[in-house]
Amino acid sequence: MRMVFRWFGEGNDTVTLEQIKQIPGVEGIVWALHDVPAGEEWPMDKIIEVKEKAEACSLNIEVVESVNVHEDIKLGLSTRDHYIENYKRTIEKLAQAGVKVICYNFMPVFDWIRTDLHKELEDGSTALFYEKNKIENINPEELVNEINKDSALTMPGWEPERLEYLTNLFKAYKDVDEEQLWNNLEYFLEKIIPIAEQHGIKMAIHPDDPPWSVFGLPRIITSQENLRRFLGLNESDSNCLTLCSGSLGANLQNNVPDMIREFSDRIAFAHIRNVRVYENGNFIETSHRAKDGSIDICEVVKAYHEMGFEGYCRPDHGRHLWGESCRPGYGLYDRALGIMYLWGIWDSLVKSRKESQSYDEFAIKS
């Protein structure tokens, strides 16, 4: 397991590279060029700038999250090939800089969605919260109005200047159902996976968060069955998964350890975090500790260990602790604590295996 830590760049993150390198076992950053709009080719000079800053702190840049997919590709419009060509050139440049994994998603319009950025937990910490009824009981027109009124709804990647396009996007997706979205995803994979193979890049799709339809928009990377279907679209070893326990685990019917055991050879990137799911469908992000949420994180790490996982891993989101002012979900303290919890589980499993092997060797000799 190769531990990495998400960093949003100087001026966009309260966490510094110097702080990240002090977290035990962290060998690299998970990064992106957040100022480059979806669909545009990434400039090589900006890629090299990140690489040099990271390497000055003895950190690698081998995982990118995300190279966002333009909406025209998801919609299957005639303009998609232009944006796919830009995506290919970005893959080539990232490979030249030493990148090994590119995380991306295929969620229409919105990335992950939450309704509260600072919901208080019992211990006084706060975390990202999802109120299911608030999302289910609002139609697209109401949504646009709510966001324009400075709504508390959290729509990552949708800055105020982009909201004017929401209405048109909802109209564009009106005739796009799940099957059409699958077709558009397969087309995208057919174009980019050969380039990824050529340059030694693993393209690792991220599950939908939450793993169900929102605002009437189709979502397809949501379950074990759908992950199986996705991997079957293109059998290349470069067509991989970012398996996020928190995203998939928001649906209690998803058995994350089973997914790890089934898809381990195609998991390039592991996001490990916990959520507490309530009976009414609401959920809140918690500490990584297994007892604090609905996901047995011990069993998740055990599954990775059993399968000999050697890919990249990050603690994903965290709570907001000790008055820390930070990007919602991305504070230093709880993610660092999460890493130490994950290493504690992992090291205990390594030690247990070594002791078992020593005992077996002793028994054979006896």
Question: Which residue among the candidates 70, 206, 305, 320 is catalytic per the annotation?
Answer: 206
Per-residue buried b or exposed e for 154-192, using 16+ beta carbons within 10 Å of the residue's own CB: bbeebeeeeeeebeebbebbeebeeeebbebbebbbebb
Q: Which of 83, 87, 330, 341 is catalytic?
A: 330
Q: Is 123 a catalytic residue?
A: no
Cis peptide before 58 (omega within 30 of 0): no
For the chain, what percentages of helix, strand and coil (3-state, to nearest 5) are there? 45, 15, 40
Whether 118 is catalytic: no
CA separation for the pair 155, 187 (Å, rounded): 27
Catalytic residue among 13, 292, 296, 316: 316
Q: Which of 317, 320, 334, 341 is catalytic?
A: 317
| 305 classed as catalytic | no
Provide the CB-side half-sphere exposure for 41 (13 A, CA): 12
Residue type, 128: L
Q: Is 244 a catalytic residue?
A: yes
Among 337, 88, 101, CA closest to 237 = 101
Q: Annotated catalytic, 209?
A: no
Tokens of 204: 């690792």
Residues with a known catalytic role: 206, 244, 271, 316-317, 330
